[in-house]
Chains A and B, each alone.
Chain A
């Protein structure tokens, strides 16, 4: 099964799972499966049917925007990754 790596800021919505195995033959189906398992995460990834534009999804080394977007085909052992926007550095 393909898997999706969940970044720290989104783990509260996946029961603190860092990686979730999903069903799907393309990226869109895989994300739909993730959302059906963890409905709370949907608001953070989608605005309606569109991925939010601060959400970066990578297949292996590559941004799916430069592949076929949500239609990008997935192989059995592919690993997707959601890259978060994080700002920490100094902290208090």
Chain B
């Protein structure tokens, strides 16, 4: 394929020295390196995938790199988001990443966009860049990035991960299929767990993110065979790499129409989920979810009350720490049962939900109190009495910090 970038920038003597291992390969050479210096890449997301992407593209000498992220670094990021460190906890991710990238390569320009990517700003933010790399964590932003790339005629280097599995492709509507040709519509909310719910092997975004960086460099310099029209499926447990063919859908709702007619829509509404990976629920303001603190719960337990406490964490988490006398059903099983009940496939009593009583108070807890809120929302939609579903504020983490200090915090 022709290089995406047809501009060349001169290299200084220092840069020639820095990039010498690139320059001696005929596939890159002076011309390819000058193209890289003249090129610009936008990274959507500065997390698991964005970390290796930003590190390697900075090191490789991509002249201008844009970072879009509005999150701050926290300690649960550090097992995989290797561009950030302990010293950057609490800092904006884009700032933490910029600092590290300029340390690796002070000759490049790093633009930061400390804002969520939305239908209102996407065209403005993407427009100046040659290549867009999608390292987001949620369906709405993935559809938004795809549609904006189709509209602007830009290649979209796609990578996605969950648990031990990853996917890689290049969606470039001018030359092949787009994301929507493969995935015309998102799965219904709740069907596919997010990394925050299902977990992810810390190394996995490194594997997929470095391959995305490779594809970006290939597109810019026009070398090799880009992953256009193909998708790589990676399974870390099997250590298997499988490539499948994906084709342009002649009826694709986005890339089969003239690019200038592609309209950006409300992607949160389209996907039915918010445009971030945090476990969060929305409920009407007139029906706030009743809460109980760990101190209040302890007091009621000590008073010998007969309580129904539902632990919705995963079995792996039960092994780390548990509260006394709980009923344990993982959120994923509740979601699955709720999906079946809501779709009419099964009555509530035939599912695991039969274990959750409708006629008494149920105190729901998880690690930090967000998944439990989510479960309460789900149960409310199935007709449970909203006043009898109580969320344990701060989850088992608060219990470990304020009630039982011998309990591990995770």
Contact = CB atoms under 8 A, between A and B. Distances in A.
Interface residues of A, number: 30
Interface in B177-227: 182-187, 191-196, 198, 200, 205
A8 B161 CA distance: 10
Contacts of A62: 244-245
A23 to B, nearest CB: 24
Interface stretch (B1-9, B133-141, B318-326, B354-362): B133-141
Contacts of A86: 160-162, 165, 167, 192
Interface stretch (B57-65, B73-81, B99-107, B303-311): B73-81
A61 B243 CA distance: 7
Contact of A85 (B186, B245, B343, B345): B186
A86 to B, nearest CB: 4
Contacts of B167: 86
Contacts of B247: 63, 66
B137 A43 contact: no
B74 A92 contact: yes
A83 B244 contact: yes
Interface string B133-172: 0111111001000000000000000011111110100000
Contacts of B142: 87
B194 A91 contact: yes
Contact of A89 (B49, B278, B343): B49
Which interface residue of A13, A54, A62 has the most chain B CB atoms within 10 A? A54
B27 interface: no
Contact of A81 (B80, B244, B345): B244
Interface stretch (B257-265, B332-340, B394-402): B332-340
B196 A54 contact: no
Interface string A77-90: 00001011111111
B77 A92 contact: yes
Nearest to B237: A18
A18 B336 CA distance: 19
B139 A91 contact: no
B71 interface: yes
B246 interface: yes
A9 interface: yes
Interface in B117-136: 134-136
B277 A54 contact: no
**Interface size range on B against A:** 35 or more
Contact of A90 (B47, B182, B343): B47
Which interface residue of A44, A84, A91 has the most chain B CB atoms within 10 A? A91
Which interface residue of A7, A42, A62, A66 has the most chain B CB atoms within 10 A? A7
A53 interface: yes
B200 A88 contact: yes
A53 B336 CA distance: 19
A32 interface: no
B45 interface: yes
Contact of B277 (A40, A61, A92): A92
A28 B188 CA distance: 23
Contact of A88 (B69, B184, B277, B340): B277
B182 A40 contact: no
Interface of B: 45-50, 69, 71, 74, 76-77, 80-81, 134-139, 142, 159-165, 167, 182-187, 191-196, 198, 200, 205, 231, 233, 237-238, 242-247, 277-278, 332-333, 336, 339-340, 343, 345
Given A61-B244, A92-B278, 19 more contacts: A12-B336, A40-B340, A52-B187, A54-B186, A61-B243, A61-B245, A62-B244, A62-B245, A83-B244, A84-B162, A84-B192, A88-B137, A88-B161, A88-B277, A89-B50, A90-B48, A91-B80, A91-B137, A91-B277
5 contacts: A18-B237, A86-B165, A86-B167, A87-B194, A92-B76
Q: Which 9 A-B pairs have the closest CB atoms?
A: A90-B47, A91-B195, A90-B137, A88-B195, A86-B162, A89-B49, A89-B137, A87-B139, A88-B161
Interface of A: 7-9, 12-13, 18, 40, 42-44, 52-54, 56, 58, 61-63, 66, 81, 83-92
